[in-house]
Each structure stands twice: as structure tokens, then as C-alpha cells.
Structure 1
């Protein structure tokens, strides 16, 4: 039993020590974060890992041989890091295949034809040979709904609504214009159309069509849906003005095959004090098949892996368990994210936070946070520590698709946020290749993620 004198003495010592701890902790954290950035900028591995993933494996659409190769690559690379545990989580994923290169051609009344760069939207049915019909152009779902039935029936509906360039945050423009890609085919079919042509979701003007997932309403007929490049959409619109009876011929051989077994790849460092509290950081391993899936989302995968390597290489043993997850099937199903959350719930795991990188490997800006107001304020207290590195924009906002299913099981969902101005130039297009990624920007992003993970691991939420 401690005497009254000793209790008073001990209390006085603790009170005296408290200001010292409060003063030295930020300095300690600042030095630790500096070590993470030094390691990333001097010896970062994200860029080299991305080169191997993109140039040796390439596009990794769910269900493809390349997706399976990527799973084995991710497992092998994390095993090389000497983590405490590396394992796979089985998940059944959709298996859509594009088939032969798509063809599109517009023909006027005089028989003169103009070829267009087109690509099938992910999940679309094929045309069953060449499909030819007149075109009706619309700029919104409301405009389509207002058209008389005879203006739509038996035609292609051409959705030609550009992304709104006035939004500084390009993700907002993408979200606003995305309904025409996601549900345009079914809305067209409801009016009797035989197919849908959709302007690519990008702010740039070029000749590359952008694919992306679309979903059918099972209550209506499934009609084929293809994307046009932005230049192609502008050209088709001008041709229609000159000849309203213009016909379009589309040829696509895409199809959906039975589901295929695949995996999430998981690697973790066990927490030194609170191993049962988990911080997940991840990106999606699958990509569309038109390119190498560099920014979407090879960069997020290698940055998530790098978070673990940076902590380990810098000697910063996390107090809470940090787990990197390479999710499968974000692009056309989110099956990997759903399976991860399902298994976490079944195991009664305690998830403190989940972080996702799926906005490209561009210059870091900060983080978007999905949490209650008190937790958002808690995370924002760390802004000064990341301000010297340009990653101090901490805002409430959408965190990510793959970690979304964890929302009810975790304190906070956090999305790594980087400069978005170039992302949709490449997103889902044939231009999303390794050469479009800047080494320094990529490594800075991994360090930013590692810094916030370090702070959450040390202080909790």
C-alpha cells in the first residue's frame, strides 16, 4: 500500500512529467515521419514494383490469367519483405472477356463511311455480328425519357454529356456524368433502343475510348454498350447535325463467362502493444484490360505494400497490427472488398481504421476521412506533422470503394488523396501505362500513407 506522502510525490512527478511528454512527443513523431520520408525518397521500392507489375503482367481484369499472375506476384513480393504473415483470401469473381477488337462505323445517306474508335463497356453483351441502326443523340437521362417512343425504338441511343470542366475536384465531374455509362444501356433498352453509345468519361480530348463497368436492369432486354472517345463523340455529333439519318454499325464479341476463383493478397505486421487492433491499407490488384492498369490501381497496390516496408525498414514497430490488402475485383464487382469485410466480421476482428489508395500515383495532397465528427477532428490534429510534405489536406469525404464494406466495422475509413487533374485523362483507357507514373510522386504518396498509419498505430483513434 502506497503512503499518502508517496502518493502525493508520485502524483507530482506525473504532473511535472506530463508537459515534458506533451512537448517531446511531437518532436519524436516529426523525426519518425522524417525517417519514413527519407527511406521512401532514398530507397523507395514502389516504382520498381510497379514497373514489374505493369510491364511483366500488364492489364489484370478479374478472372483473367494476368489477374492470377498478379496474385502470385503480390504474394511473392510481400513474402520477400519478411512480414509477420502473408496469405491469400479466396473469392469468386466475375469473368467478362472483351474478345476481338471492337469496330464502329458511321455511314451517311451517300454511303460514305467514317470509322470510330470504340470499346465495349465492361459487362456488356456482344452484338452477335454487325449491328446497324440510326442514332438518336441525348445529353441526359431526362432528355431520353422525354423523347417520343418512335424517336428511340430500333436505334442506338448516343449519350453525349461531357464531364463538367468547372469542377476543380475532377472526381465530382466524373460522378455527375457517370450515370450514362453505368445505366445508359438499360435506360435506352426501356425505350426500345437496340444499343447504347456513350461519350468517354474524361475531360481530355483525344482518340482513346475509356471503358468502365456498366450494369443491366434484369427487368429489360440486355443491349450492347460501347464507349466512344471524346474526339469521336464530338465528330459523331457534328455528323448527325449534317445528316440526322446517319447510321452506325457496331461489332463487338464480348461475353460473360462463369465466375472464377481468385484471391485477395494480404500481408501484415503484428502490433507490438495492441495486436488485436487492425489498421488496413490497400489498393485493388485488378484493372481493366485495355492497358497496364498503372494509375488504376497498380500505384495503390505498390503504395500499400510500401507502407509495411517503410515501417519495417525505418525501425518503427507499429503498436497496432498493420495489414496491407491487394483487393481483387474492384472494377466490376467489389467482390474482394466484400469478402474481406465478411471474413473480418466472421473472425470478430477489431478494425481501428482502413485506408485506400485508388486515385492514382500523383502528387500527394492529403486524405479524405469517413468518420464521425470527433474522429475527423482527432485525425486533423496531425495535419501539422504532414504539412512540410504537402500532405496536410485532411477533409471529410469519400474514402474508397474496396474499404466501403468495412464501414460498420471500423472507426474510420480514409482515402489517400492526390492531385486529380490528370487522373481521368488515363482512367480506364489504353493510355494508363507505367510510363505515365512519376517515381518521385509515387514514392511521396507511399510515405504520406505510412506517416498517417504510423500515427494511428501509435495513438489510436
Structure 2
């Protein structure tokens, strides 16, 4: 009799799990049908790119993007739509940069772009001997005697052994992020940096630099073709190679801007929040399509899909357009600060900031092996039909990363599309709407909505 009771309990438990999984499977199919057949993120991205364009923090276009995304979510009928005021840096590139290599009788113009937050050169530019380095440690070895009065050229390429391009970006990024400030300590008059990409082309990649407490000096990124040309000329030259650089950038007083927030209010646990977002600002060389127009439009689409399906979440689902990810991160910091002040409880936060390419899955920040094992056991099979079932330990995103300090119980998640093409486009003049694939963008929105649905239905304590 006891054996029969245990067997009956096991059968009931297995049946309940099967029924739950079946219900989830059916609803996730509805989510993808809506995103793929009636999706609106592609047309919204077109408007953002073509009617507004680049959206550098503090610019007029950034303000237009704030106003438009707020109205977009209001028109969709989200339960709440509001702004979070944040003070942001206001840097301007100015007139187009100029640069050329001077090697003997050779004067070779090159493609380059000032780094974000760089200072300008003198009005007539700066000309000096250029020295090629492959690491920041070489600065210490050369010291002031080897660097003072020269232009430092950081030329460390991506390590092509990494499968994930984001890892290669991370290991090469210090030369752009802190290289100019580090070179300034030893008296360099300017820094030029190899663009952070595997691609071999003439598109220079901008991006922010941070001088720390060091004296700011002009800093610019060379296209990979220009970097290769400069390296070859230095290697073969019989006399020192010089470089001419002229930039016209400036930093203005901080400007007032906003995070843009839209919500569906939870029906059971309204104070518990699931956030999904990306950053609304972009660099000024192009339209900011993949970085991060795709992320913000996918995040709006997640909530639009739920509205279209009549889904009433248990927890509050919030979509956030963060401001100032590119050159300060102040929007993410303000969001975390306000969440703490309002005593909110975040179950999870998902960030899409790796482009709108084919979805592969999600990475979970700061979790252990048991979490990854359990979440794969619970949800991998539900995402597998959409080829977005790679659930791994890893990073989340720079904007939601600010929640670590204020919401330590929140699970921080990065949306992970295919990484192979992102850094061909990232921070370049080529980051335009035409380089976004409609189908890939919609699949990503469906994938993000599916994960939000699962978290809302089952929580995320594994």
C-alpha cells in the first residue's frame, strides 16, 4: 500500500511537470509567432536610425530619441511610462579629424577617428616621431626617456584564437580605454590606437578613453588597414617615422538627459521587477543601429509582444532605455540608485548590447555551476527549438551591472547573439540600419521575451 502511494505521487509529480512544460512550450510558440509575423522592432529601429540618427549623450539627437521612445511606449499602452533624469557628459567631435604618416618622402593620409572624451590637438595639429608598442607594460620599460615628446602607437590586434569575439575585444581594449592616460604619464604628446576589430578595412572604430588623473592628450583610433601600413613603414624605415594628427573635439558642461522606462505592472508581485533593456545613446559616427538601437528596440518589443498577446505578468516587467552607456555609464548608475531608493526588488535584469544578430542564448553573471546546470535542466529544451538554448556562465551588461551593488539578489543576464560580425561594425561609420537583418532582430526579441516569460512564471532561484 505504501509503495502504491509513493508510485502515485511520483506519477502525479511527473505529470504536473509535463503539463507545466507543455504550457510553457505552447506560450513561447505564441511569443515567437507574434514577434516574427507581427513584429514591430524592425520598423521602430528604422525610425530611430533614419529619423533621429546618431545619439551621443548630451546631443540634440539624444534628446529627440528620449522623446520619441517615451511616446512610442505610451502609444503602445504600457501601464506606466516615465523618465529618470540623469546628468550626462557632453562631448563633441567637431570637424573631421586629419591624420597622415610621414616616412621619408612618403606622406600617406590614413583613416582615423578621435576617441570619445579625447581632447583636441593644437589648432595646427601635432607632428612628432611615432613609436609602436604592443602593450601598456612597454610604456614602463621605455620610461620618459623613450616616450616624452613622441606619439605612441598601440598596435595590439585581436587574439584570433578566441571563439567569442567579445573576449578578444576585452583583452585588446586596455590600449584604447586607458592607453592614452598611461602614455601621458611619460610625456607622450598624442596616442593613436589600432581599431578594436578583427576586420581588415578602412573603418576607424571610436570608443571612450579615460585619462584618470593623468594629463589629457589627443587620442585617436586608426583603421586596421592604416595600422598595418604604419607598422610596416616603421619596421622598414631607416629614419624615424613621424605622424601628423589634427582633432577638433571638445568637452562641454554636463547636460541633462534621461533614462526612458516603460512597465507592465505585475498582478501578484508588483514590487518585484524583471528588467529588460539596452542603451539609447550611441556614438556619433553613424546611426547606432547595432550599438545599441537593436537592443533598445528589442527591449520595447518584449513588452509590446506581451501587450499584444494579452499577457498579464505576475511580476512587474520593465523595459529601460539607458542613457550614456558609451561615455560614462551614468544612466545605469542612476537606475540602480533609484531602484535602491524606491526599495524595489529585482528578480532579474537582462541587457541586450551585443548587436541584433542571430540569438544563441544567454549568459548569467556571478552564478555558480549548480545554477547553470539547473537552469539548463529546466529551460534548455524550451529554447532549443529556436536555437537560442546556450545558457552559460558569463557577463551580463555594463548598464545592469550597476545593480550588483544595490540589488545583490538580482540575477544579471546578458543576451548573447552570434558574436562573429559585431566588432566589424561596432563604433564605426558602418553601424547603420542597412546592416541589421530583420529576421535576426525579430528572433532576438522573441528569445528575450521567452526568457522574461519563464522568469515571470517560475522565478529564477536555481
User: Counterparts of 1:59-98 in structure 2 under 5 Å?
Assistant: 59-98=54-93
Asked if 1:406 is matched to 2:403, the reply is yes
- Residue 55 (structure 1) aligned to one of 39, 50, 53: 50
Which residue number corresponds to residue 397 of structure 1?
Answer: 394
Cα pair 2:65 2:280 within 8 Å, conserved: yes
Q: How many angstroms apart in 2 are the aligned matches of 1:387 and 1:304?
A: 21
Asked if 1:173 is matched to 2:168, the reply is yes
Q: How many angstroms apart in 1 are the aligned matches of 2:374 and 2:67?
A: 38
Cα pair 2:35 2:442 within 8 Å, conserved: yes
User: Counterparts of 1:255-334 in structure 2 under 5 Å?
Assistant: 255-334=250-329
Which residue number corresponds to residue 126 of structure 2?
Answer: 131
Deviation at 1:108, TM superposition (A): 2.7
Q: How many angstroms apart in 1 are the aligned matches of 2:404 and 2:373?
A: 18
Q: 1:148 to 1:455 in 2, by over 3 A?
A: closer
Deviation at 1:316, TM superposition (A): 2.3
Which residue number corresponds to residue 452 of structure 2?
Answer: 453
- Residue 384 (structure 1) aligned to one of 378, 381, 384: 381
Which residue number corresponds to residue 435 of structure 1?
Answer: 434
- Residue 114 (structure 2) aligned to one of 115, 120, 125: 120
Q: Residues 104-150 of structure 1, C-alpha deviation per residue, up to 9 Å, x if partnerless?
A: 0122333x411111110000000022111111111111222212533
Deviation at 1:370, TM superposition (A): 1.4
Deviation at 1:377, TM superposition (A): 4.2
Q: How many angstroms apart in 2 are the aligned matches of 1:181 and 1:411?
A: 31
Q: 1:84 to 1:120 in 2, by over 3 A?
A: same
Deviation at 1:371, TM superposition (A): 4.1
- Residue 223 (structure 1) aligned to one of 217, 222, 225: 217
Which residue number corresponds to residue 208 of structure 1?
Answer: 203
Deviation at 1:87, TM superposition (A): 0.4
Which residue number corresponds to residue 195 of structure 1?
Answer: 190
Which residue number corresponds to residue 335 of structure 1?
Answer: 330
Q: Describe the SS at the equivalent of 1:280.
A: strand
Which residue number corresponds to residue 245 of structure 2?
Answer: 250
User: Counterparts of 1:97-116 in structure 2 under 5 Å?
Assistant: 97-110=92-105, 112-116=106-110
Q: How many angstroms apart in 2 are the aligned matches of 1:351 and 1:108?
A: 58
Which residue number corresponds to residue 425 of structure 1?
Answer: 424
- Residue 345 (structure 1) aligned to one of 340, 345, 351: 340
Q: Describe the SS at the equivalent of 1:147.
A: helix
Q: How many angstroms apart in 1 are the aligned matches of 2:83 and 2:371?
A: 31
Which residue number corresponds to residue 158 of structure 1?
Answer: 153
Q: Residues 259-289 of structure 1, C-alpha deviation per residue, up to 9 Å, x if partnerless?
A: 0000000000011211111000000000000
4+ runs deviating over 6 angstroms: 12-16
Cα pair 2:103 2:242 within 8 Å, conserved: yes
When the two structures are superposed, what TM-score results if normalisation uses the length of structure 2?
Answer: 0.94
Cα pair 2:182 2:211 within 8 Å, conserved: no
Deviation at 1:239, TM superposition (A): 1.5
Farther off after superposition, 407-416 or 238-247:
238-247
Q: How many angstroms apart in 2 are the aligned matches of 1:398 and 1:272?
A: 31
Q: 1:148 to 1:89 in 2, by over 3 A?
A: closer
Deviation at 1:151, TM superposition (A): 2.5
- The count of corresponding residues between Structure 1 and Structure 2 is 449
Q: How many angstroms apart in 2 are the aligned matches of 1:191 and 1:138?
A: 14
Q: Which ranges of structure 1 fall in alignment gaps of 5 or more residues?
A: 1-11
Q: How many angstroms apart in 2 are the aligned matches of 1:273 and 1:32?
A: 19
Which residue number corresponds to residue 3 of structure 2?
Answer: none
Q: Describe the SS at the equivalent of 2:328.
A: coil
Cα pair 2:367 2:393 within 8 Å, conserved: no
Deviation at 1:249, TM superposition (A): 1.0
Q: How many angstroms apart in 2 are the aligned matches of 1:326 and 1:368?
A: 20
Q: Describe the SS at the equivalent of 2:427.
A: coil
Q: Residues 12-52 of structure 1, C-alpha deviation per residue, up to 9 Å, x if partnerless?
A: 99998544422211111000000000011101111000000
Cα pair 1:96 1:256 within 8 Å, conserved: yes
Deviation at 1:411, TM superposition (A): 2.5
Q: Describe the SS at the equivalent of 2:383.
A: helix
Farther off after superposition, 15-24 or 418-427:
15-24
Farther off after superposition, 236-245 or 31-40:
236-245
Cα pair 1:371 1:411 within 8 Å, conserved: no
Q: Which ranges of structure 2 fall in alignment gaps of 5 or more residues?
A: 1-6
Q: Residues 322-343 of structure 1, C-alpha deviation per residue, up to 9 Å, x if partnerless?
A: 0000000000111000000000
Give the aligned CA root-mean-square deviation in angstroms: 1.6
Cα pair 1:369 1:413 within 8 Å, conserved: yes
Cα pair 1:375 1:412 within 8 Å, conserved: no
Deviation at 1:242, TM superposition (A): 2.9
